[in-house]
C-alpha cells in the first residue's frame, strides 16, 4: 500500500478554502495531501500590448514556491525565474485560457498568482485545479460589480498527475513516489472529457503505449473526482 494505505487509483485528501486572501479579487487555497497552493486572482483593466484594440481579454498565471515549502529551503528567484518556473507558468496560463471565450470578458486581464505554501508533489496540477476555481469566482465578481453584463459560459478545468512506480501505475503522486517513478505524467482535462494538455516523461527507460493509456485512465478518473470541487459554486 501507499502512504496512509491509499489505493493506487485514489487521490490524496483534497479540500479548498475560497476567499482565503480577501485582498485579492478572488482566491482559493487548495490542499491535495501535503501540497498546499494559494491561487489568487487580480483583475486588471488592461491587456498585453499585442491584444490592445482587439476586443478581447487575457488570462495568465504566475507561479512561485515559498522558501520553506520544501524539506530544504527553496531559494527565492530574485535574479530571474528558473526554466522550470517559466514552464509551469505557461502551462497554467494555457490551461486557464481554455475555460472561457476571451472575447466575452472585455479588454481586461485576469492574472492568477499560484504560490506554493507546502510542496509534496503535484504542485503544478494543484495550481491549475485551484486557479480554475479562482477564475470562476473572479468572473462572478465581475458580474456582481456590474463590469460584465452576464456570466460567460465557463468550461471547468482540472489537472492531476499519474505515474509508474516500481512497475505499478499510481494516481496523484506525492513527492516520494514522484522521485522514484519510472514514468510520470501531468494531465489537464476539461469537464467534457477533452484533454487540454498532457506532459509525460520516462525516467530511465521508455514506457509502453499500454502503460501510458493506463496512466491516462487513472488521470481521467481522478480529474472526474476533482470536478466535484465545482459543486456549490456561483
Collapsed DSSP state (helix, strand, coil) of residue 127 = helix
What CA–CA distance (Å, rounded) separates 65 from 113? 11
- Note whether residue 210 is domain-resident: yes
Model pLDDT, residue 232? 62
- Note whether residue 2 is domain-resident: no
User: What are the strands, taking DSSP E only, across the chain?
Assistant: 14-18, 26-32, 35-44, 58-65, 109-118, 157-165, 168-171, 183-190, 195-202
- Note whether residue 37 is domain-resident: yes
77-91 confidence digits (pLDDT tens): 767 777 888 899 999
CATH number at residue 41: 3.30.230.70
Please indicate, yes or no, whether the overall pTM of this predicted structure exceeds 0.85. Answer: yes
Range of the domain at 34: 7-230
Contact at 8 Å (CB) between 40 and 113? yes
Mean local confidence (pLDDT), 199-217: 95
What CA–CA distance (Å, rounded) separates 173 from 121? 6
- Note whether residue 151 is domain-resident: yes
- Note whether residue 223 is domain-resident: yes
Nearest residue to 225 (alpha-carbon basis) of 124, 163, 156, 131: 156
Counting the structural domains of the chain, the total is 1
- Note whether residue 25 is domain-resident: yes
- Note whether residue 77 is domain-resident: yes
Mean local confidence (pLDDT), 154-169: 96
In whole angstroms, how far apart are CA 221 and each of 126, 138, 158, 225? 16, 27, 12, 7
- For the chain, the maximum distance between any two Cα atoms, rounded to a whole number of angstroms, is 56
- Note whether residue 1 is domain-resident: no
Amino acid at each position: 500500500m501507499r502512504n496512509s494505505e491509499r489505493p493506487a487509483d485514489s487521490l490524496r485528501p483534497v479540500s479548498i478554502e475560497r476567499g482565503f486572501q480577501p485582498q485579492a479579487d478572488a482566491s482559493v487555497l487548495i490542499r491535495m495531501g501535503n501540497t498546499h497552493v494559494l491561487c489568487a486572482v487580480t483583475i486588471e483593466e488592461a491587456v498585453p500590448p499585442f491584444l490592445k484594440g482587439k476586443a478581447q481579454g487575457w488570462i495568465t498565471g504566475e507561479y512561485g514556491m515559498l522558501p520553506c515549502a520544501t524539506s530544504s529551503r527553496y531559494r527565492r528567484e530574485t535574479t530571474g525565474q528558473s526554466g522550470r518556473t517559466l514552464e509551469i507558468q505557461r502551462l497554467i496560463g494555457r490551461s486557464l485560457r481554455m475555460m472561457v471565450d476571451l472575447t466575452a470578458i472585455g479588454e481586461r486581464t485576469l492574472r492568477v498568482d499560484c504560490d506554493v505554501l507546502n510542496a509534496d508533489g503535484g504542485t503544478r496540477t494543484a495550481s491549475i485545479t485551484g486557479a480554475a476555481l479562482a477564475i470562476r469566482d473572479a468572473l462572478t465578481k465581475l458580474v456582481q460589480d456590474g463590469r460584465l453584463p452576464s456570466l460567460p459560459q465557463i468550461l471547468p478545468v482540472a489537472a492531476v498527475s499519474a505515474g509508474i512506480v516500481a512497475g505499478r501505475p499510481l494516481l496523484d503522486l506525492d513527492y516520494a513516489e514522484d522521485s522514484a517513478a519510472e514514468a510520470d505524467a501531468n494531465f489537464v482535462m476539461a469537464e467534457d472529457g477533452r484533454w487540454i494538455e498532457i506532459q509525460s516523461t520516462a525516467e530511465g527507460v521508455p514506457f509502453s503505449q499500454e502503460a501510458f493509456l493506463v496512466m491516462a485512465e487513472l488521470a481521467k478518473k481522478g480529474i472526474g473526482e476533482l470536478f466535484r470541487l465545482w459543486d456549490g459554486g456561483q
